[in-house]
Amino acid sequence: MKIYEYQAKGIFKNYGIPVPEGDVAETPEQAKQIAEKLGGTVVVKAQVHIGGRGKAGGVKLAENPDDAYEKASKIIGMEIKGLEVKRVLITRGVDIQSESYIGIIIDRKSKKPVFMVSKAGGIDIEQVARETPEKIYKFPVDPVYGLFPHQARLLAYKLYDDPKIVKEAQKTIMGLYNAFISIDASLAEINPFVVAKDGKTWAVDAKVVLDDNGLIKHPELEKLRDVTPAEEKEIMAKKMGLSYIRLNGDIGCVVNGAGLAMTTMDVIKHFGGEPANFLDIGGSSNPEKVKNAMNILFSDKHVKGVWFNIFGGITRCDDVAKGMVEALKGMNISLPLVVRLTGTNETEGKEILKASGLSITSADTMSEGAQKIIQLVRGG
């Protein structure tokens, strides 16, 4: 679960990380009031669940409260990478001397929390990792012992020479580790961590991703959830007993079984297509489930065609076919549909689809199914 910068900063503050003072505004008037209270130069920052706001024009300095009003009215309502800005954070402006990067993630390979620090802060760290990986220093932490102060100091020395600043950075690194562990995060990041012209250090930006599986231990963090339309669908699907994850492609897929669903996405990719989702309707062939699955996919305007890839084991192909026919008859669907039914009662299933008179393209193999739906979606 992603949380907003202002929420992450609220957590960081409790762990002794220096966070510039500020507050959230939903209107330009509120932004002005906060700026008045803070005094001096402030920063107006779009609150969206995505990075790169600075480049997109979602982070702006304001010299006085009226300017804050101006900047806030520009930023509130704008769209950043498809996400609408509903709130801005107004924080005290920092006179920046240098920007570095401090982050910690759960690394699947080493199965450990891994710290990453870099002098190349402020900019897109993924780009640094791609182009100049040597500029990032990585340090795996043994979760049994936790992070020792001398290790935090070593990390700080990778960023700074001045012992006074090192001490400050060490405190932030310890704080970040403690926060990360306590809230069961999968990522916690400060980019940039800033040394100001007066020598003080500040966490100017904050990013936290919480581990969904850890949320059960943190009801207070669950309250920070802000559901986007895409996530709303995922939650709705969960309630219906479907495992659904929205992706960025245009080919919808309806599959029974998680393994087959993964393979289906791989095969679509293999033949040059882009899956619009992961969707596992599970082992049951309950027509209601098939109907719900189709409702979810067809209401997504990115979906340009749907591939049903069903393997009949316990699930019987004729039951799935019945569900499909029942569902499709009540809908007005003009999208191309490809169906691959194989396994238990496949002949019966295919008969049902044929007899229904619905416009469906049939496929016998995985490769055939993928190639057919890609061709249909691409207007072939």
256: tokens are 């029974």
Q: Is position 5 an interface residue for Mn ion (rule: CB under 5 A)?
A: no
Among candidate residues 15, 101, 160, 177, the one labeled active-site is 101
Rg (CA), the chain: 25
- CA distances for 152 relative to 116, 139, 141, angstroms: 11, 10, 10
Q: Is 277 in the site for Mn ion (CB under 5 A)?
A: no
Q: How far is the CB of 62 from ligand GDP (least distance, A)?
A: 10
Stretch that binds ligand GDP, among 21-29, 67-75, 90-98, 345-353 (CB under 6 A): 90-98
Q: Is 205 in the site for Mn ion (CB under 5 A)?
A: yes
CB atoms within 10 A of CB 111: 10
| Cα dihedral across residues 104, 106, 107, 110: positive or negative | positive
How far is C-alpha 57 from the geometric centre of its chain's CA atoms?
21
Residue 93's binding partner out of ligand GDP, Mn ion, none, with CB under 5 to 8 Å set by partner kind: ligand GDP
Pick between residue 53 and residue 322 the one whose CB is nearest to ligand GDP: 53
Task: Compute CA distances 172 → 43, 104, 140, 290, whole Å.
Answer: 22, 12, 17, 50
- For residue 32, give Cα distances in angstroms to 21, 23, 47, 182, 374: 15, 11, 17, 35, 52
Among 100, 151, 186, 191, binds Mn ion (CB under 5 A): 191
Please name the residues in contact with 369: beta carbons below 8 A apart, sequence gap of 6 or more: 267, 307, 309, 338, 339, 340, 363
Partner from Mn ion, ligand GDP, none binding residue 99, C-beta < 5-8 Å depending on class: ligand GDP
Q: Is 205 in the site for ligand GDP (CB under 6 A)?
A: yes
Catalytic (active site) residue 101? yes
Nearest approach in angstroms of CB 216 to ligand GDP is 30
Residues that bind Mn ion (CB under 5 A): 191, 205
Catalytic residue list: 101, 189
Residues that bind ligand GDP (CB under 6 A): 43, 45, 51-54, 59, 93-94, 96, 99, 122, 191-192, 204-205
